[in-house]
Amino acid sequence: MSSKTILYTDSGFHSPYAMSAYVALTEKGADFELVPVDLAQGEQRRPDYLSQSLTGKVPMLVHDGFALTESSAITEYIEDTFPGTALYPRDARQRARARQIQAWLRTDLATIRQERSTDNLFAKPAAPLPALSATAREAVGKLVAAAEHLLPQESLELFGAWSIADFELALMLNRLVAVGDAVPPRLADYVRHQWGRPSVQRWVALNQRHAG
């Protein structure tokens, strides 16, 4: 049976959540259609999108008529239903750790997200960014300490093989690295390695093409 897969993303290709779902499908070698949603025009609030997505957010995956939002639910669903590169470790504890990282990155560290936008991952800021606030510096301290603890010495992967948690942790750290905020050199190496992954670079290319 042939299956139809559609991924709805933001039309500017800046959303870290849409990017995670895109990286997941690309890692699986899935054949999928990409549908950009113009968030500035409020397309996510149109009745047809809202009724399918329930949340009015991107990303949304539609797989053979099954619509799903919330990016970590999407990456888990993709892992469960598509063959190809594993997105999560097989070991139960490592898998739980990967899910922990995904959940944490979505629910904490808000000041880093606010003061170090994903825009800077794709284009140099027009003017130097203001220094991080005290609250953001505290969040950076927590992020760096956790990453140092989680990433084994001499390794460029959290669990001995790539996982979607590597992409997501590296993206959060790259909010700092990309604009020259200080992070320990081995974490900066980790970020550069992860950012060079072909699935990640495919999304970067979409962003650049859109920025024109």
Q: Which residues bind ligand GSH (CB under 6 A)?
A: 10, 15, 17, 39, 44, 56-59, 70-71, 106
Nearer to ligand GSH, 73 or 182 (CB): 73
Backbone angles phi, psi at 25, to 5 degrees: -65, -40
Tokens coding 203: 């999304």
Nearer to ligand GSH, 37 or 132 (CB): 37
Report the C-alpha gap between 157 and 45 in whole angstroms.
38
Query: Which one, of 44, 47, 52, 58, lies nearest residue 14 by Cα?
Result: 58
Helix (H, G, I), strand (E, B) or coil at 36: strand
What is the nearest approach in angstroms of ligand GSH to the Cβ of residue 140? 21
What is the nearest approach in angstroms of ligand GSH to the Cβ of residue 57? 3
Nearer to ligand GSH, 112 or 183 (CB): 112
What is the nearest approach in angstroms of ligand GSH to the Cβ of residue 148? 25
DSSP 62-110: EETTEEEESHHHHHHHHHHH--SS-SS-SSHHHHHHHHHHHHHHHHS-H
What is the nearest approach in angstroms of ligand GSH to the Cβ of residue 172? 13
61, 68 Cβ separation under 8 angstroms: yes
Nearer to ligand GSH, 53 or 199 (CB): 53
Rg for the chain, CA atoms, rounded: 17
Nearer to ligand GSH, 15 or 207 (CB): 15
Nearer to ligand GSH, 1 or 40 (CB): 40
What is the nearest approach in angstroms of ligand GSH to the Cβ of residue 95? 19
What is the nearest approach in angstroms of ligand GSH to the Cβ of residue 83? 24
Query: Which one, of 104, 74, 103, 76, lies nearest residue 6 by Cα?
Result: 74
